[in-house]
Amino acid sequence: MTKVLIVGLDGMSPELLNLLMIGGAAPFLKKLRQKGVYATMRSTLPPVTAPAWASFATGKNPGKHGCFDFVRLGPSINSMRPLSRMDIRALTFYEIAASHGLKCIIINLPLSFPPLMKDNLILLPSITTRLKVKAYPANLEKDLPLLNHYRVIPSVKLVTKGEFDKFVEDVRELESVRFDIARYLLSSYEWDLFFLLFSGTDFLQHWLYDRLLRLENAYGELKLYKDIDRYVARLFKDAPPDTYVFVVSDHGFRVCEGRFYINEWLRRMRLLSVAQKTSSKPPPHLFAKELRRLSSRSLTLPSFVVRNIDKLGFLMPIYRKFLSVLPIQLSTELIYEPHGTYALCPSSESWGIYLCRKGRFSNGRVGQSLARRLMPYIIGELKGLTDRRGKPIFDAVLRREDVYWGPLTSEGPDILLVSRKYAIATDISPTLTVYEKFNEHWLDGIFMAWGPGVVSMKKEHKRIFIWDVAPTVLRLLGLEAPPDVDGKVVADIL
């Protein structure tokens, strides 16, 4: 019986992987690349954990599974909630496999809880799991005491204190426990499909990606990548010899030159009105939740300050220096005034602008006629924005119909923003653009495959899409994907 082992490296970019291979930090992955198939894998837009892994698992674009961000908006413009498995409105490839009697072990896959299937499935939680569970089924905890040490996020406190050397060691410990659990399950339980995601790569790269591109190791950060390379090699060795092995990432990374404050721009265009800053909205995932808890001594800015923050002018450098030495942190969530808000960007991860449409939001103000006028106006103005060198801020400003397709497309942002050099920020700011290096997700991840019958390619395979993985895995397992999937079986590698 064919078996499939999938290892996820969250946020691994083609550029960084290549450097790690050249620098000797990933010898096994280099060997796997040489003997198997390697390709750049295009992620979702936005290239964010929740929609990307949902597309990976379903074989569909967000317009068919309904996950466009870490959060779901509504019913009002000021309400949102974090996503869970219940928000993916499509079956995943592991659920399809389990429904056909195949044994599936899924470790740390975002949006996998709460489980829909009860049989043939072992699940371990991820950063999006808010249930206080260590595993499904629950009796697994009795069989595997090491689960008491299983964590989905590292110590956020170390990041807030700037102790990156200790942070790296904590991430290494987290992944070491995850690997030990995975290896035990791989060797002790029956399985046909095995998925394991290492999240530590993403945790480190948000803070250290620019340093990693220079192969710097001041905090011992390269040790994590050497660890993971050894872990993949060990799993490869432990798996049965006829196993197909995939190594994938949900998105890549990039180093931005700065951040563009999209809600501040909308406010200046008289399209958004802000009452005050608050921290009442739920954090999108557990890492953000812990950051908020550690920053609980927050200060809510009065509404008159928020409305006039752009008048700081030449005092901006002093304002930013003041923020950096405060013993408290300013809240970054916003309360929108419905009567003056026509468009908004709910989160930096969305890469998008939502029109406050009537019918979509309980307090929406934008009807069909106004929407038809606003869309070309906003898109045109955004396309004309330039940075301090006179270069466009955005590489592309797209209507959602140009990005998504399917029955759930109308739930996504009306406008999608793509900028190679600038990250999207949603706060209200004295300036529209802050020029400082910032590590952020990007569109291109990685895909590697090895197994019986996989054609070894001496050069990189043509680009594939993240939704191509699900139908390919199902085909290898002898199953057919649902007819409405967007992904194509990567048949030419077999």
Q: What does 127-184 look like in DSSP terms, one character per residue?
A: TT--S--S-BSTTHHHH-GGGGG--SS--HHHHHTT-HHHHHHHHHHHHHHHHHHHHH
pLDDT at 284 over 90: no
355 and 286 fall within a common domain: yes
Identify whether residues 227 and 345 lie together within a single domain. Answer: no
Instruction: Tell me which H or E stretch contains 201.
Output: helix 200-212
Range of the domain at 160: 4-255+441-493
Side by side, the strands of the sheet bearing 415-418 are 343-344, 352-355, 415-418, 396-399
Q: What is the pLDDT of residue 460?
A: 75
Average pLDDT over residues 266-271: 98
Cβ distance 455 to 494 under 8 Å? Answer: yes
Tokens encoding 134: 């260590």
Residue pLDDT, tens place only, 58-68: 999 999 999 99
Packing angle of the helix pair 164-188, 200-212 (nearest 10 deg)? 140
- Does position 461 have pLDDT exceeding 90, yes or no? no
Last residue in a domain, options 388, 414, 436: 436
Q: Given this model, what pLDDT does residue 367 score?
A: 97
Residues 17 and 147 reside in one and the same domain:
yes
Considering the domain architecture, whether residues 264 and 250 belong to the same structural domain is answered as no
Residues 225, 246: one domain?
Answer: yes
Shared domain check, 222 and 350: no
CATH number of the domain enclosing 37: 3.40.720.10
191's tokens: 């399985």
Q: Quick one: average pLDDT of 248-259? A: 97
Select the more confidently predicted residue: 250 or 319.
250
Q: Which of 91-100, 129-138, 287-296 has the lowest mean pLDDT?
A: 287-296
Per-residue pLDDT at 322:
38
Domain end (from 436, 459, 483): 436
Amino acid 156: pLDDT? 86
Residues 199 and 226 in one domain: yes
Within this chain, do residues 481 and 423 fall inside the same structural domain, yes or no?
Answer: no
- Among residues 436, 456, 471, which one ends one of the domains? 436
* Phi-psi category of residue 210: left, alpha or beta, with phi > 0 → left and psi -120 to 50 → alpha: alpha
- In this structure, the answer to whether residues 193 and 320 fall within a common structural domain is no
Whole-number percent of the chain with pLDDT over 90: 76
482 pLDDT higher than 90 = yes
Query: Are 56 and 187 contained in the same domain?
Result: yes
Q: What is the pLDDT of residue 469?
A: 98
Helix (H, G, I), strand (E, B) or coil at 466: helix
Is 201 found in the same domain as 284?
A: no
User: Please, what is the average pLDDT of the chain?
Assistant: 89
Q: What is the pLDDT of residue 288?
A: 63
- Number of folded domains that form the chain: 2
Identify the pLDDT of residue 364: 95
pLDDT band at 129 (very low <50, low <70, confident <90, very high): confident
CB atoms within 10 A of CB 28: 19
Same domain as 203, residue 301: no
pLDDT band (50, 70, 90) for residue 5 = very high
- For a pLDDT cut of 70, what percent of the chain falls above it? 87
Burial call 181-212: b when 16+ CB within 10 Å, e when fewer: bbeebbeeeebbbbbbbbbbbbbbbebbbbbb
Tell me which of 217-221, 385-389, 451-455 is least confident. Answer: 451-455
Q: What is the pLDDT of residues 64-83, one digit of tens each?
A: 999 999 999 989 999 889 99
Return the number of other C-beta atoms located less than 10 Å from residue 438's C-beta: 18
Question: Taking 90 as the threshold, does the pLDDT of residue 301 lie above it?
Answer: no
